[in-house]
Amino acid sequence: MNNLIEIRWHGRGGQGAKTASLLLADAAFNTGKYIQGFPEYGPERMGAPITAYNRISDKPITVHSNIYNPDYVVVVDDTLLESVDVTAGLKETGAIVINTTKEGEEVRKFLKGYTGNVYAIDARKISEEALGRYFPNTPMLAAIIKVAGIMSDEALLKDMEGSFKHKFAKKPEVIEGNMKALELALKQVKKI
Residues that bind another protein (CB under 8 A): 22, 25-26, 29, 34-39, 41, 60-66, 68
What long-range pairs does 22-27 form, CB within 8 A, spacing at least 24? 23/137, 23/141, 23/160, 23/163, 23/167, 24/54, 24/56, 24/141, 24/144, 24/145, 24/150, 25/54, 25/56, 26/163, 27/141, 27/145, 27/150, 27/151, 27/156, 27/159, 27/160, 27/163
Q: For residues 41 and 134, which CB has a smaller minimum distance to another protein in the complex? A: 41
Quick one: 28 or 142, whose CB is closer to another protein? Answer: 28
> Which CB sits closer to another protein, 39 or 116?
39
Rounded Cα distance, 169 and 29, in Å:
21
Q: How far is the CB of 67 from another protein (least distance, A)?
A: 10
DSSP string, 25-58: HHHHHHTT-EEEEEEE--S--TTSEEEEEEEEES
Least separation in angstroms between residue 134's CB and another protein is 26
**Closest separation in Å from C-beta 33 to another protein:** 8
Task: Identify the CA nearest to 45 among candidates 13, 19, 84.
Answer: 13
In angstroms, what is the minimal distance from the CB of 42 to another protein? 9
Nearer to another protein, 36 or 188 (CB): 36
The least distance separating another protein from the CB of residue 92, rounded to whole angstroms, comes to 20
Q: Given the complex with another protein, which of 65 and 169 has the nearer CB atom?
A: 65
